[in-house]
């Protein structure tokens, strides 16, 4: 069905989907703007976290856990970031390492944090 040139004169011939008043459009746009704002805030507050095993030794798994963290900004800038295995073992007081894991947390690709988790005795 074609849309009439002057919809006010021939309102009866228009399909119902085209008969949307200004009031309905106003409420729809208001709801849409609210939805877009909530979606934007949710996207800014989300992050992705991934923990991967790196290494395991034949040493028994102890009850000590050490962590070291390094943060990178814009995938380029890292200020005094030390996420090494040696630092994680030192922070946990571990002399015999049994497992090593790396946890990466990413916030919109702007801030990325690398945490090395070491367990052992």
**Count of domains in the chain?**
2
The burial class, CB within 10 Å (0-12 / 13-18 / 19+), for 89 is buried
- Model pTM score: 0.62
pLDDT at residue 24, as a whole number: 60
Q: Look at 11-25, 59-73, 92-106 and tell me which has the smallest mean pLDDT.
A: 11-25
CB 54 within 8 Å of CB 114: no
In a domain, 1, yes or no: no
Residues 101 and 68 in one domain: yes
* Both tokens assigned to 62: 């102890």
Residues 55 and 97 in one domain: yes
pLDDT at residue 20, as a whole number: 55
CA distance 96 to 98: 7
Containing structural domain, residue 33: 11-44
pLDDT band at 73 (very low <50, low <70, confident <90, very high): very high
DSSP bridge pairs for 102? 52, 116
Residues 59 and 39 in one domain: no
CB 66 within 8 Å of CB 90: yes
Residues 37 and 52 in one domain: no
* Both tokens assigned to 70: 């390094």
Please spell the DSSP secondary structure of 6-63, one letter per residue. Answer: -TTTTGGGS-GGG---HHHHHHHHHHHHHHHHHHHHHHHH--EEEEEEEEE-SSPP-S
Please check the confidence at residue 94 and state whether its pLDDT lies above 70: yes
Per residue in 34-54, pLDDT tens? 899 988 887 777 778 888 899
Q: Which of 20, 113, 8, 4 is nearest to 69 (CA)?
A: 113
In a domain, 6, yes or no: no
């Amino acid at each position: 069905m074609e849309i009439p040139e002057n919809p006010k004169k021939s309102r009866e011939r228009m399909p119902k989907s085209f008969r949307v008043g200004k009031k309905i459009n106003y409420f729809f746009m208001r709801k849409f703007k609210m939805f877009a704002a909530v979606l934007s805030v949710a996207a800014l507050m989300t992050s992705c976290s991934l923990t991967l095993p790196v290494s395991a030794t034949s040493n028994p798994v102890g009850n000590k856990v050490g962590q070291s963290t390094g943060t990178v900004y814009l995938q380029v800038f890292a200020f005094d970031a030390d996420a090494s295995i040696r630092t994680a073992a030192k922070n946990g007081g571990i002399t015999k390492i049994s497992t090593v894991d790396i946890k990466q947390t990413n916030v919109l690709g702007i801030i990325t944090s690398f945490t090395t988790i070491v367990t052992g005795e």
